[in-house]
Structure 1
Amino acid sequence: MTGLQIDSLDREKAQHWLRENLSCSDPVIAKLDQFVGLLLDEAERQNLVADATKPVFWTRHVIDSAQLLLHVPRETALQWVDLGSGAGLPGLVNAIIAPHHRFTLVERRPLRTDWLNRAVDRLDIKNVEVVSAPVSALPDQSFDVITARAFAPMPKLFAMAKRFASGKTLWILPKGKSAKQEMSAIPGWQGRFHVEPSVTDGESGIIVGSLQP
């Protein structure tokens, strides 16, 4: 890292949160720690995360990703699709924590998909498929969960991804401080959506809901 070091207190608090709220074991925490190290090393070669977020990486990126698991059934095995996976946030984080789920990570940028594939290999993650293609190239299919972090505004996102959703598909969309504003962009959809507060930032929100059949 270029002089920006992980805040040890942030790391400690984040790992405590993971144990308390998602029952993460020591091996899972260790694998997340390895993931963080690999990602920060790769961030020296390509722009994966903002420099300002690196010291608080555990809260800003790991917990921000992991909190999405609070909105799905704990024990049910689900098929996830993560659109615009980029650095593997939230896809790889959640795949490490919840190995009984299956994750399809869709990313069109070759440098990013190369990183994702290398991370999957280095971390020996068995429940992930990386798709190196634009979302438009992914074949029609239904997923149980659709996620997208900092990917596209709501109208565009729905237009691109509704073909992956059944009436029961759960959309979990971290939208930061624009969550309530973006909710107003979808009044015409026959759906049920609401904003959940983010555990990492009281001013940020996650749009959660499902389309009606």
Structure 2
Amino acid sequence: MIQTEEEARDFCAERCDSAAIDRLTRFVALLTEENTRQNLVSKASLDHVWQRHIADSIQLLDLAKAVKGPWLDLGSGPGLPGLVIALARPDMPMGLVESRRKRFDWLEYVKGEFSLTNCRVHGMKLENLESRETGVITARAFAPLGKLLKLSARFSTHSTLWLLPKGRSAAQELAEQPSKVREMFHVEQSATDADAAILVGKGRPAQQ
């Protein structure tokens, strides 16, 4: 379990090349600066930014090693986890969905700063995004599990991987779902927080 900023940086360095670490370090500076203008993340979390936000996002790469195909990050907000993953892996196609104008502008700005050709920002509600097949779907603090699946099932196939950081609510949210959803997902312990977990699933949920 990661407990310090140094451990968090080492965790990321084991999974990213030096160029990616440089990009992530610069991203942290940009995020910290932008947070003085809009509340992207809690101010207190910036004291542990590598643990709480960067390594927390990078750990999803461990769960998606065998998956090919584009990623879709729902409600990207400050770029967590989707933009962090795009910075770490600029070879990986990444779609970021964010309907709030100021946060969309922020994501576009960072994309431009790093010339991320692998990354596309969709400034709209998920309901308005054109359907497409997606290899990995991620979402952090986007919506309760039932609503999330209802909104995003049309982007999935039988082989789509779902990676949904859910904090302390993961097991409870899963327990409240129909049996077919419970069979689709399992709970993984977060590497960055003893009280947090990630819902990991595979497949296309039945339309609700």
CA distance in structure 1 between the partners assigned to 2:179 and 2:167 by the alignment? 22
CA distance in structure 2 between the partners assigned to 1:186 and 1:168 by the alignment? 20
Q: What is residue 63 of structure 1 aligned with on the other side?
A: 55
**Structure 2 runs not aligned, ≥5 long:** none
Contact 2:153 2:204 in 1 (8 A): no
What secondary structure does 1:56 align onto? helix
AA at the equivalent of 2:175: S
CA distance in structure 1 between the partners assigned to 2:156 and 2:179 by the alignment? 17
CA distance in structure 1 between the partners assigned to 2:129 and 2:97 by the alignment? 8
Q: What is residue 79 of structure 1 aligned with on the other side?
A: 70
Residue 212 of structure 1, CA deviation: 5.4
Of 28, 49, 56, 1:36 maps to: 28
CA distance in structure 1 between the partners assigned to 2:171 and 2:39 by the alignment? 28
What secondary structure does 1:55 align onto? helix
Residue 25 of structure 1, CA deviation: 1.7
Contact 2:159 2:202 in 1 (8 A): yes
Question: Greater relative contact order: 1 or 2 (C-alpha under 8 angstroms, separation 6 or more)?
Answer: 2
Contact 1:77 1:102 in 2 (8 A): no
* Cα offsets for 1:63-117 (capped at 9, x unmatched): 111111111126x642000000000000111011112210000000010000000
Q: How many residues align?
A: 202
Residue 202 of structure 1, CA deviation: 1.5
* Cα offsets for 1:122-170 (capped at 9, x unmatched): 1222210000000000011110000000010011001100010111100
Q: TM-score, normalised by structure 2?
A: 0.92
What secondary structure does 1:140 align onto? coil
CA distance in structure 1 between the partners assigned to 2:179 and 2:5 by the alignment? 42
* Cα offsets for 1:16-59 (capped at 9, x unmatched): 11122x1x122111110000111111111011000110100110
Contact 1:117 1:130 in 2 (8 A): yes
Contact 1:154 1:185 in 2 (8 A): no
Residue 210 of structure 1, CA deviation: 1.4
CA RMSD in angstroms comes to 1.6
Residue 10 of structure 1, CA deviation: 4.2
AA at the equivalent of 1:140: S
What secondary structure does 1:143 align onto? coil
2:177 is the alignment partner of 1:177: no
AA at the equivalent of 2:157: S
What secondary structure does 1:133 align onto? coil
2:146 is the alignment partner of 1:155: yes
Of 139, 144, 149, 2:130 maps to: 139
* Cα offsets for 1:156-204 (capped at 9, x unmatched): 0011000101111000000001110011122343552100000011121
Of 11, 17, 25, 2:11 maps to: 17
Contact 1:107 1:132 in 2 (8 A): yes
**Structure 1: which 4+ aligned runs deviate by more than 4 Å?**
none
2:48 is the alignment partner of 1:50: no
Residue 11 of structure 1, CA deviation: 3.9
